[in-house]
């Protein structure tokens, strides 16, 4: 079965600093999904990556999928308190998006 490892598990950054969260898969990915979760709430979709080498950006968040499609990174530029939450990556290992495997998440705190 597919396993996803996220690093770091938690992160505290000062407002305005940049940060990177990594997601590594034990198998080749058909698709990689990034979500954000505020404590005690549901998941909010951020971005989906499918092609090796693909990179997508939305506002100050950039996600990349490596050429071998086994690792993804999420980069936040000039972090703000609104970026605080739990970031989860979800992997599609079958090509159907019907069964996603999720990492355990990275908890981000942004201090003033």
Sequence-ordered list of residues with C-beta below 8 angstroms from that of 100, at least 6 positions apart, any chain: 33, 90, 91, 92
Q: 51: which DSSP letter? A: S
Distance CA 47, CA 6 (A): 16
Site for another protein in 35-64 (CB under 8 A): 35, 40-45, 48, 50
Residue in 18, 57, 80, 96 binding another protein, rule: CB under 8 A: 96
Residue in 21, 74, 76, 105 binding another protein, rule: CB under 8 A: 105
The smaller minimum CB distance to another protein, of residues 14 and 98, is found at 98
Measured from the CB of residue 97, what is the shortest distance to another protein in angstroms?
Answer: 4
């Amino acid at each position: 079965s597919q396993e996803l490892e996220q690093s770091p598990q938690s992160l505290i950054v000062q407002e305005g600093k940049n940060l990177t969260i990594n997601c590594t898969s034990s198998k080749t990915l058909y698709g990689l999904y990034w979500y954000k979760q505020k404590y005690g709430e549901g998941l909010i979709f951020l971005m989906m990556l499918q092609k090796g080498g693909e990179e997508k950006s939305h506002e100050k968040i950039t996600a990349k999928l490596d050429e071998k499609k086994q690792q993804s990174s999420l980069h936040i530029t000039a972090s703000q308190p609104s970026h605080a939450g739990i970031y989860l990556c979800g992997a599609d290992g079958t090509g159907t998006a019907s069964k996603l495997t999720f990492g355990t998440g990275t908890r981000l705190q942004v201090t003033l």
